[in-house]
Structure 1
Amino acid sequence: MAALLLLPLMLSIFLINAHPPPLNTLSHHQQQQQLLLRFKAAVSINGTSLPDWSPLHHFCNWTGVTCHSNSHSVRAINLNQMSLDGTISPVLRNLSSLRSLDLSQNNLTGTIPPQLGQLPNLRILWLNGNQLQGTISPELGNLSSLRSLYLFDNFLAGTIPPQFGQLLNLRALWLGNNTLQGTIPRQLGQLPHLRILRLGYNQLQGTIPPVLSACRSLYFLSLFYNQLNGSIPPELSLLTSLNILYLEFNSLTGTIPSSLANLSSIVELSLDGNELYGPIPSSLGNLSTLTYLTLGENHLEGSIPPELGMLTHLENLSFFANNLSGTIPSSLTNLSNLNCLDLCQNQIGGHIPWEIGTKLSNLVYLSLWGNQLSGNIPNSLGNCSRLEVLFLNKNELGGTVPMELGRLNLLSRLRLHTNQLVSDSSNTLAFLTALTNCSHLQIIDIGGSHFTGILPPSIGQLSSNLYYLGLQDGMISGSIPQQIVNLTNLTFLDLGYNLFSGNIPSGFKRFRELERLSLGGNELEGSIPSEIGQLQRLGLLDLSYNQLSGKIPDSLCSSQQLRYLYLHYNKLSGNIPVSLEGCQKLELLDLSYNKLRGRIPREVIASLKDLAFYLNLSWNSLEGSLPKEMSKIIMAQAIDISGNKLSGVIPNSLGNCIALESLNLSHNGFEGPIPGSLSTLKKSPRNGSFFQ
């Protein structure tokens, strides 16, 4: 019986939804309800969104709807993160009492209806985090009551409407992460109450309008990742309420205005990635509230001003990739709150201040690589208990690696390579043993110095998180410790160009994550362990310039990922295994200067379709004819099969190797004429001739 009584009501609801009556025939209450239902129909294509938006409930109780207590007119719609799809209906223009519309973080598409500009009381319009396209309608400039406009994180194109200069009550304008073009309208300088202007991650061009300095209430100005040019307007120094100024990654030129020192409230200043030149103004040392100062990737020159040592609230100081010279001012060690110091890729010389670790104990990130620093690594760095990243590589640092680094329990990345560091008197690389206390270590890159002695067995006790170990280009001798195979999470292992001797340790199959293995340039003996072929992720294998003997293992190409195989300058013998045809992703294969014999396997050559660099089989004892499949290596830049015992004719089809810059078939027993097809191959930029 109850179901029968509800039937007429349900039927009437269905008819209203299916055939909505004209709004002018409805009461104010019914109009509000109908407008919301029409809006829902547009933003809920799948029909699952906003399930309680139904005539069965009063619309003022619907999810996200707020009404005026007296008139029951819709005052606010807040549907943030409600999985809405579809489009925004222009019917919202009829909700004349609407003060706040938040449809952010949904999946809305289509354009922003220009009719929204007809909402006289709208104060908040947040449409950010959708997939809206098209241009921003100039009609939005009619929203005279608007205080906050968020359209960021969409796909909006076109220009910023100059009509936005009419939004005299606007406090926040955020249009970032779109594809907006054109210039920044100078009319924005007419907004007396504007506090937030965020236009980053667009394609804006032209200069920064000096008239923005008229927005004296501005405290957040972000214009980063655009294509802005010209100089930084000195007038910006009039924005004494400014807390945040982000201008990084544009094409700004000229010098840094010294007048920026007048930004008495500035907390974060970022000018990275521009074309700025000249010195760093010493007046920046007066910005006593500054916590974040980044000027990297410019053309700044001269010395680092000692006055910056007065910025006692500074937490991040980054001047990387400039042309700075001089020394590191000792006054920087007064910045006790500093957690990031990045001065890499400059021309800074002198010593690292010895007290750096004592006074800057809060450092988390220290990057001084790519300079001309000399002297020793300060022992005091062991006091930086929060340090996670230490990059001192590519300098002229000498002495030993401080044992105190073993106290850095949070250290995850250590790069000291390409210096003049030496081993201690014990010749055991004892600092590696100290680093076994650093349980978070992921990267140890210390090659390219003057380390001597043997690798300690304790290397196998390094962090289980270690994935990168670089000890290349030194004078480390002795055998490779068997314990090294305990580092089972390594993806990169480079022990190349040292004085290691003995056999390659067994157990390499435990390196299941290994992608690059470089042992070349040592004095290793014995055979190549067949278990290396079980490294399924191996993309590069370099065993060149050793004394390895025996056959090339058939298992070597069990790894389907192998792209670079260097076995040259060894004493390998036997035939080239046909199983190498399994290395179908090879881009480079070098087996030269060994004792290989027999024919060149046609199957192997036919599989080298991705070979993009070179094939080198020279100076072995290979015999027979040149496989016609050689013509299928069409992308190789060089082929060298000289110094063998090959015979027969040179295949005319070699002319198909259109990318060849060098072809060396000399010191063989080929007969007959040089194929005419080779005359079409391009000449090498190295020697003017491709053929020997």
Structure 2
Amino acid sequence: MAPKAKLLLFHLALLHGLLHTLISEAANETDALALLQLKASLTGDPLQITSSWNSSTHFCQWRGILCGRKHQRVTVLNLQSLQLSGTLSPYIGNLTFLRRLYLFNNTLAGTIPSEIGRIGSLSNLRIFSVRRNSLAGAIPPSYGNLSSLREFRAGSNDFSFDVASNRLTGSIPGSFSNASNLELATNFQALIMDHNNFGGRLPVDIGNLSALQILYISENKLSGELPLEIQNLNNLQRLVAFDNGFSGTIPSTIGKLQNLEELDNIRTLEWLDLASNSISGSVPQSIGNLTRLNRLRLARNQLQGEIPAAIENCKDLIALDLSDNNLSGVIPPQIMRLSSLSLLLNLSHNQFTGILPYEVGSLTNLETLDLSHNMLSGNIPGSLGSCVRLELLNLQNNLMQGAIPSSLSSVRGVRILDISGNNLSGQIPKFLEDFTQLQLLNMSSNNFEGQVPEGGVFKSASVVSITGNNKLCGGIAELHLPACQFNQPGRRLSRKWKILISTISSLLFVSFTATCLLLCLMRKRRKEHVDSSTSDPPLQPSYQRLHKATNGFSSANLIGIGSFGSVYKGVMDENGATVAIKVFKLERRGASKSFIAECEALRNIRHRNLVKIVTACSSVDYHGNDFKALIYEFFANGSLEEWLHHPVQRTGHLPRSLDFLQRLNVAIDVASALDYLQHQCQTPIVHCDLKPSNVLLDDDMTGHVGDFGLARFLSSLDKRSFEGRTSSVGVRGTVGYAPPEYGMGNLVSIQGDVYSYGILLLEMFTGRRPTDESLGAGLNLHNFVQFALLEKSAAKVVDQALFDELLLGVTSHASTSSSEYIPKSEKSEELLISIFEVGLACSSDIPQERLGIREAALKLVSVRNKLVGSALPEGESAKAGPCM
């Protein structure tokens, strides 16, 4: 090449480099100025985060800024949870290389700048998070131009469009579903816009979001009819639109949304919520096409007509709320056959007539039944006594009559019982005295008569309401009832009759005494001469003995109800020992298999933290039916479930709950039991149903794992490698505690028990059940705690019963030697976080990532050592007995 040509190329290269440098410097200057303008728009920065934003350092070194390696341009702006106030500067739109923008959990106000969405600006932006602020105004339609946007968040969910809990107004921009390159059809999974001030109609373009799974538009000011295009959302899992101004009818095409489901833990759930609108017409028959519908709320609308019988096809329905409408006709028996209903059945404030179907007894797992303010007539069906899990039963303001059936004595866990405003009659049942959980008993405005009981809930006039029953008498003084007159006036008996009655009474007494003596003598001789081998051995009690020990399996002796049986407190006549007797409901499918599984599991295992089985009974009852029962040692302090969610009432003392150290000790006890089952048995055992109700507490508050009715042996596994292997079985445990993989492949593993333990541990220290609706939409207990730790606010999710203890650093627990064993401030927060981290590590969705139960136990022991300042004695598992 000629020298002149080489020289020309050199100058061109030099010029190109110079231009590149000038352009880069100009671009860098643009990013720096944009950041300084953002700093200037902030009116509050108490943590002095932006104090480093000055010319003394390159802006890529400023706090909260991350730049790309090649161009030294701002790619990440992370200012989350820094207590910033002020407004969003429109100059953010000049950060053209920005990929992620995190501004959530501050107090920013004003509007969202439209410059962010202008064509050509922020074309690389993938994540825009402004949740937990005080933003107002409308979402700019220009946001539809953000061609790479994947996540727009103002809540706590990833990969979603979320502007929840702000004060945003205006209409929902259709541009979100029209943007040509927005990739909503393949990427956006959730549109969460609840609790704002959006008005107008829901745009028909919503139907273009074919990949949308969750649509939350509740608590806004939306109006008009639901667009028919909603049927195009074939992947929709949740539709929550309550508390708006929607009118018209429910589209008959709603039945085409057969994928309307929510994946929560291990079970496919579905949620359709259109409550608190102005929707009229009838409930369409097509609702029955949503065969996996899980929750249906159409309350507080203007619906008319009858409930479609096709709803019986919704076999997974756990909550149904049709209250506050104009529905009429009889209540379809098909609804009462939906044994899946467990959370709620609310048909109140309608115009239903006829009787309460006898099939209501099928709702054995239902917690809330509200049929108030209708025109139901007839008697309260005796089958209602089968609904043993009821916590709220409301039948007020109907036309029901007759006496309260004795079968209701089984509903001992009810908290609110309201049967006021009916035509019920007869005496007030004495078994209501045993309803220890009752917080409200309203029997007013009926025709009850006779003496009012004085025990149990009837000791408090603030709990019991019996006004409007003019034939009642007695009771405590606060009820202001007349005294009962038991002796009716009449003619006095003559002297001859008195002598005759006295003589007959004396003869009967002598005869009765002689008979009793004779029977006692015969029994004594029989015991002395009959070979003990021909009678029931003490360790193999008969049905008759168990019947006697429990006073005929009386409801007063009932201490627990499970999936396959009921547990009674019993006193054995052989030695006066108090035991717990689990009677299996053999008519229920799987009960016999559960009996055998529990016998096999508990036959030879021995550990101080496992419930001890005393013996078993396989016999027949007085009607010739098969009878099977297991007899366990009795635990006076009940289950962990009662202590966590039902503060224990001790006679003469205030209600108590477990303190911090007690919870930690029980958690270690349970981990020790699982470690024994998984690592110290010749054949590993999987419990499959670990939850608080299956953890029992003895007099020393030591935890014992029980109920092995779903237990499985992993006999096919190589002992050296069973950690990562599974065994197939058709059980799923309990919703919320069973791991996700059980719902997909029915695979049982020791990692499944670890998951259940992690959830139980989180529940013990948050006081929230894994199915608690207070966790928030789209959250499970794991995510609820995880988000709290990410935001460094563990104290906000701790059980309220522990809050004062952690805050003040004292406890009233009698077993502690010092009232200052709980560390204060930062240290208490640190220990609490350590416990939560163990729970999170155990409850990971991926089995292989879960913490081993032995490692979990050691971590908790370390926390306890820091708490009480003493090491755990050696031989933690030394007391464990032999296993199979």
User: TM-score, normalising length from structure 2?
Assistant: 0.43
Structure 1 residues 585 and 383, CA gap change in structure 2 (3 angstroms): same
Cα gap change, 1:310 to 1:488, in 2 (>3 Å)? same
Rounded Cα–Cα distance in structure 1 between residues aligned with 2:412 and 2:459 = 12
Shift of 1:368: 0.8
Give the direction of change, closer, same or farther, for the CA distance of 1:548–1:405 in structure 2 (3 Å limit). Answer: same
Which residue of 363, 366, 383 maps to 2:215?
Answer: 366
Query: Structure 1 602/298 Cα, relative in aligned 2: closer, same or farther at 3 Å?
Result: same
Residue among 206, 216, 231 paired with 2:47: 206
**Secondary structure of 1:209 counterpart:** helix
Distance 1:575 1:408, change over 3 A: same
Instruction: Kindly state the Cα deviation for residue 543 of structure 1 after the two structures are TM-superposed.
Output: 0.7
Q: Which residue in 2 is equivalent to 1:475?
A: 326
- Work out the CA distance in 1 between the residues paired with 2:103 and 2:253: 36
Within the candidate set 325, 329, 348, 2:198 is matched to 348
2:250 paired residue number: 401
Q: Is the CA contact 2:457–2:464 (under 8 Å) kept in the aligned structure 1?
A: no
Q: Equivalent residue for 1:525? A: 377
Bigger fraction of residues in helix: 2
What CA deviation, in whole Å up to 9, does each residue of 1:630-660 have, x standing for no partner? 6xxxxxxxxxx47x65689xxxxxxx9x9xx
1:253 corresponding residue in structure 2: 85
CA distance in 2, matches of 1:265, 1:440: 45
CA distance in 1, matches of 2:349, 2:381: 20
Are the counterparts in 1 of residues 316 and 340 from structure 2 also a CA contact under 8 Å?
yes
Shift of 1:542: 0.8
Q: Structure 1's 291 and 569: CA in aligned 2 closer, same or farther, altered over 3 A?
A: farther
Q: Does residue 466 of the first structure (1) align with residue 317 of the second (2)?
A: yes
Match of 2:225 among 361, 373, 376: 376
Distance change >3 Å, CA 328–CA 621, structure 1 → 2 = same
1:304 corresponds to: 139
Give the superposition deviation at 1:592: 1.0
Offset of residue 600 of structure 1: 1.0
Q: Which runs of 5+ in 2 are unaligned?
A: 1-44, 151-159, 261-269, 486-651, 655-884
**Higher relative contact order, structure no. (Cα contacts within 8 Å, ≥ 6 residues apart):** 2
Aligned to 1:422: 280
Assess if the C-alpha contact under 8 Å between 1:345 and 1:371 holds in 2: yes
User: How many angstroms does 1:512 deviate by?
Assistant: 2.1
2:42 — aligned with what? none
Counterparts of 1:594 and 1:511, CA distance in 2:
26
Summarize the Cα distance change of 1:515–1:534 in structure 2 as closer, same or farther, 3 Å threshold.
same
User: Are the counterparts in 2 of residues 622 and 646 from structure 1 also a CA contact under 8 Å?
Assistant: no
Report if aligned partners of 1:623, 1:646 keep a CA contact under 8 Å in 2: no
Separation in 2, partners of 1:268, 1:340? 19
Q: Does 1:497 align with 2:349?
A: yes
What is the letter of the counterpart of residue 440 of structure 2? L
Q: Report the CA distance shift for 1:598/1:415 in structure 2 as closer, same or farther (over 3 A).
A: same
Shift of 1:548: 0.9
Verify: 1:507 aligned to 2:342, yes or no: no
In the TM superposition, residue 341 of structure 1 has moved relative to its aligned partner by 1.3
Aligned residue type for 2:320: L
In the alignment, is residue 327 of structure 1 matched against residue 176 of structure 2? no
Q: Are the structure 2 counterparts of residues 596 and 434 from structure 1 closer, same or farther at C-alpha, using a change threshold of 3 Å?
A: same
| C-alpha distance in 2 between matches for 1:267 and 1:529 | 64
Distance in 1 separating the partners of 2:128 and 2:438: 46
Question: 3-state DSSP class of the match of 2:247?
Answer: coil
Q: CA deviation at 1:481?
A: 0.4
Per the TM alignment, residue 365 of structure 1 is displaced from its structure 2 partner at its CA by 1.2
Q: Which ranges in structure 1 are unaligned for 5 or more consecutive residues?
A: 1-203, 224-237, 631-640, 649-655, 659-692
Counterpart AA for 1:257: S
Three-state SS of the structure 2 residue aligned to 1:254 is: strand
1:486 aligns with 2:337: yes
Distance 1:261 1:311 in 2: 11
- SS where residue 455 of structure 2 aligns? helix
In the alignment, residue 401 of structure 1 is paired with which amino acid?
Answer: I
Matched-pair contact (CA < 8 Å) for 1:582–1:607: no
SS where residue 455 of structure 1 aligns?
Answer: coil
| Superposed counterparts of 1:144-183, under 5 Å | none
One-letter amino acid of the structure 2 residue matched with residue 347 of structure 1:
N
Letter in 1 for 2:233: C
Equivalent AA in structure 2 for residue 274 of structure 1: N
Native 8 Å contact 2:300 2:325 kept in 1: yes
Provide the C-alpha distance between the structure 1 equivalents of 2:62 and 2:247, rounded to a whole number of angstroms. Answer: 47
Q: TM-score, normalised by structure 1?
A: 0.55
Q: Kindly state the Cα deviation for residue 380 of structure 1 after the two structures are TM-superposed.
A: 0.7
> CA contact under 8 A between 1:489 and 1:513: conserved in structure 2?
yes
How far apart in 1 are the matches of 2:95 and 2:455? 71
1:602 aligns with 2:454: yes
Give yes or no for contact 1:218–1:241 (8 Å, CA) kept in 2: no
Any idea what the Cα deviations from partners look like across 1:527-554, whole Å, max 9, x if unmatched?
1112222212111111111111111222
2:103 to 247, 257, 271: 271
* SS of residue in 2 equivalent to 1:460: helix
String of CA shifts for 1:19-53, please: whole Å, max 9, x gaps.
Answer: xxxxxxxxxxxxxxxxxxxxxxxxxxxxxxxxxxx
Percent identity of paired positions between Structure 1 and Structure 2: 31
Once residues 563 and 472 of structure 1 are traced to their aligned partners in structure 2, the CA distance between those partners, rounded to angstroms, is 21
Q: Could you say which residue in structure 1 is the equivalent of 2:670?
A: none
Local SS of the residue matching 1:444: strand
State the alpha-carbon separation in 1 of the partners of residues 303 and 108 from structure 2: 40
- Separation in 1, partners of 2:324, 2:110: 38
Partner of 1:385 in structure 2? 234
Q: CA separation of 1:306/1:521 partners in 2, compared to 1, >3 Å: closer, same or farther?
A: same
- CA shift, 1:212, in A, is 6.4
Confirm or deny: 8 A CA contact 1:294 1:317 kept in the other structure. Answer: no
Per the TM alignment, residue 599 of structure 1 is displaced from its structure 2 partner at its CA by 1.5
Alpha-carbon offset, residue 439 of structure 1: 3.3
Residues 270 and 477 of structure 1: is their aligned pair in 2 closer, same or farther, counting only changes over 3 Å?
A: farther
- After superposition, the Cα gap between the structure-2 partners of 1:356 and 1:487, relative to the gap in structure 1 and judged at 3 Å, is same
